[in-house]
């Protein structure tokens, strides 16, 4: 969870707690109505937090999926590039070997 999301979550929880405390102190209603209002407030906060959690979870899943795809693509490019480089090295070494064989043949005459 990012620092901004954590701060937002903390701010929401603090706001709910402060609002509940002030609501109880200044409530003109009976206790049962006040408790019902508090329950509704907590339910709203819970739903809001669940919604934010779901959003962050979905974003994280999307980013991880994209990162995995990018990593696989990079790996395939690297393997392909290395295959081409290997062929170039083999060709270079074959040419050098042929040159050395020619030089050795001249020395043996």
What pLDDT score was predicted for residue 108? 83
Number of structural domains the chain divides into: 1
Q: Tell me the pLDDT of the chain (109 aa) as tens digits.
A: 567 877 888 888 888 888 877 777 776 767 777 778 778 888 888 898 899 999 999 999 999 999 988 888 988 888 888 888 888 889 999 999 999 999 988 888 7
d(CA 81, CA 66): 22
Domain extent at residue 30: 3-108
Sign of the dihedral through C-alpha 40, 44, 47, 49: negative
What pLDDT score was predicted for residue 81? 83
What are 32's two structure tokens?
């049962």
φ and ψ of 26, to 5 deg:
-110, 15
What pLDDT score was predicted for residue 94? 92
What pLDDT score was predicted for residue 59? 92
What pLDDT score was predicted for residue 2? 62
Cα end-to-end span (Å), the chain: 77
What pLDDT score was predicted for residue 27? 66
């Amino acid at each position: 969870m990012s620092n901004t999301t954590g701060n937002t979550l903390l701010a929401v929880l603090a706001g709910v707690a402060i609002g509940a405390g002030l609501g109880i102190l200044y409530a003109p209603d009976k206790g049962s109505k006040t408790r019902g209002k508090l329950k509704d407030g907590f339910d709203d906060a819970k739903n809001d937090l669940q919604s934010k959690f779901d959003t962050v979870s979905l974003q994280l899943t999307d980013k991880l999926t994209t990162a995995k795809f990018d990593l696989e693509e990079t790996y395939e490019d690297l393997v392909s590039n290395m295959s081409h480089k290997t062929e170039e090295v083999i060709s270079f070494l074959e040419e050098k070997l042929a040159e050395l064989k020619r030089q050795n043949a001249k020395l043996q005459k």
